Amino acid sequence: MKIIELEEVGSTNEYCKAIDSCEDLCVFAKRQTAGKGTKGRSFISLDGGLYVSVMRHYDNFSAENAFKIMINGCVAVCKTLENFGIHPVIRWANDILVNGKKICGTLIENTFSSGKIIRSIVGIGINVKNEISSEIEQIATSMKEVLGKNLNLQEVKSAFISNLDCDFSIEDYKRYISWLGQSVTLKTEDEVRVVKAVDVTENGRLLVDWCGNMLEISAAEVSLRL
Ligand code: BTN
């Protein structure tokens, strides 16, 4: 896969979208001035973090298998953290936490045509040795903070690129969901429910037990608190 390394960009996801080519790309930026998070939020992207978008094109990738794209992105990040001795947990569907704080977020933007995914852009932001701004220090951490030592960003990038080449399974993904079987809180716009997390299905839905009723939840519907 071709690798592009930028000094500064608005958003690596937007950079990929603007490219009019079917070449698969991995675009890194040292910093982003308009980093995008999920649900229309912004993603602070200061120097020292790893900001990357992986753009892939497909001929025949059923939209039903969209979760596979998320699995490969999230597990590649988890393996990368493990390469540096860090033990992450995935907060379904696509946040990665260490010691209860977010260390990585992912923003996946797919393009569909006739029930198929023709292009995916997997945007990943890992807090490596960037400063964590005071507004989010209660909920976010970095590799540097967890390890208590400085890191070489290039080494983290190289590990990530190697892990990107692997094809991971749902079992690999579930290995990082250590909270299955426990009580979690699901929050929608109008209500908060405490449920027991039972499983993650092949298509990426969270199976929960709510007062004896089995419910399948989609990530778009709720936010999850562990
Ligand atoms: C989230 O936690 O809400 C998702 C954050 C995703 C951030 C990454 S950084 C690289 C890529 N470019 C963006 O603008 N966003 C993603």
Within the chain, which residue ranges are assigned CATH 2.30.30? 183-223
**Cβ–ligand 1 contact at 73 (below 6 Å):** no
Fold classification of 2-174 (topology level): BirA Bifunctional Protein; domain 2 (3.30.930)
Q: Give the pLDDT confidence score for residue 190 in this predicted structure.
A: 85
pLDDT band at 221 (very low <50, low <70, confident <90, very high): confident
SS3 for 120? strand
Residue pointed to by tokens 């079917």: 22
pLDDT band at 225 (very low <50, low <70, confident <90, very high): confident
Within the chain, which residue ranges are assigned CATH 3.30.930.10? 2-174
* Mutational pocket test of ligand 1: of 32, 126, 139, 164, the residue with most ligand atoms within 8 Å of the beta carbon: 32
Task: Give the whole-number percent of the chain exceeding pLDDT 90.
Answer: 88
Overall CATH class of domain 183-223 = mainly beta
Tokens of 55: 């753009």
Nearest-10 crossing angle of helices 66-83, 153-164:
140
Asked whether the beta carbons of 179 and 226 are under 8 A apart, the reply is yes
2-34 confidence digits (pLDDT tens): 999 999 999 999 999 999 899 999 999 999 999
Asked whether the beta carbons of 178 and 172 are under 8 A apart, the reply is no
Asked whether the beta carbons of 197 and 162 are under 8 A apart, the reply is no
**Cβ–ligand 1 contact at 124 (below 6 Å):** yes
**173 CA distance to ligand 1 middle (Å):** 20
151-179 confidence digits (pLDDT tens): 999 999 999 999 998 999 999 999 999 89
Tokens of 92: 């379904």
Closest approach atom of ligand 1 to CA 95: 2
**Cβ–ligand 1 contact at 123 (below 6 Å):** yes
Asked whether the beta carbons of 177 and 89 are under 8 A apart, the reply is yes
88-99 confidence digits (pLDDT tens): 999 998 899 999
Q: Give the pLDDT confidence score for residue 36 in this predicted structure.
A: 98
Whole-prediction pTM value? 0.95
Residue pointed to by tokens 């939020």: 41
**85 CA distance to ligand 1 middle (Å):** 24
**What integer best gives the mean pLDDT of the chain?**
95
The Cα 30–Cα 50 span in angstroms is 7
**53 CA distance to ligand 1 middle (Å):** 8
Q: Give the pLDDT confidence score for residue 6 in this predicted structure.
A: 98
Q: Give the pLDDT confidence score for residue 188 in this predicted structure.
A: 82
